[in-house]
Structure 1
Amino acid sequence: MKIDYANRDACKACSLRSRCTQSFRRVSGLENEAVVDRMAARLAARPDMMDHRQNSVEHPFGTIKQWMGQNAFLMGRLENVCGEFSLIALAYNIRWAITLVSVTGLIAAARA
């Protein structure tokens, strides 16, 4: 959420007002800007973490979009979207397990 802040009294009393603006200045920022700043600082300290995240976390989402054709959710309301994504994630995980251990290995593991 974007927050706008304006202090007209401070602008009227400011010695730089003639160089700044004719009316008053408005400063805007995000509601959770402190969180964004902390994340940017963490990323600047360890830039390799973004590469790790792209390799481990974002790959499943790209795969789901590509081979399942899931560019958007079909359902409305958060509760329904959560259910739809759970089914998509389950299908992805089953397909990945089949790739790793084959169908017979997956059936044997399910019976154990």
Structure 2
Amino acid sequence: RMAARLVARPDILAVRRETVEHPFGSIKQWMNQGAFLMRGLEKVRAEFSLTALAYNLRRAITLIGVPGLIRAVQA
């Protein structure tokens, strides 16, 4: 089914690479987070949640700056 979907829409894989996989590559590179440090599903979920929060804060600061982020949090 996947091969048929790719034949029907060959551009979709490039879109996925640009949008979905970028955060994970950035997390691995910027934060040196190649593998989880914790074991167990609950602990891994917590670790990933903290990593995603750090990534999102870093992206927000990059996009709107610290003053913009502070204004957004206060609103």
Whether these two folds match at TM > 0.5 is: yes
Question: Are 1:69 and 2:32 matched, yes or no?
Answer: yes
Alignment of 1:1-112 (within 5 A): 38-112=1-75
Q: 1:59 is matched by which residue type in structure 2?
A: H
Aligned residues: 75
CA distance in 2, matches of 1:42, 1:60: 24
Could you tell me how far 1:45 is from its partner in structure 2? 1.1
CA distance in 2, matches of 1:80, 1:40: 35
Q: Which residue pairs with 1:19 in the alignment?
A: none
Runs of 4+ in 1 over 2 A off after TM superposition: none
Q: Per residue, is there more strand in 1 or in 2?
A: 1
Give the SS at the match of 2:12: helix
Q: Which residue pairs with 1:34 in the alignment?
A: none
The normalised TM-score by structure 1 is 0.65
Cα distance per residue 1:13-50 (max 9 Å; x no partner): xxxxxxxxxxxxxxxxxxxxxxxxx1221112111000
Cα RMSD between the aligned structures?
Answer: 0.7
Q: 1:50 is matched by which residue type in structure 2?
A: L
Q: Per residue, is there more helix in 1 or in 2?
A: 2
Identity of aligned residues (%): 67
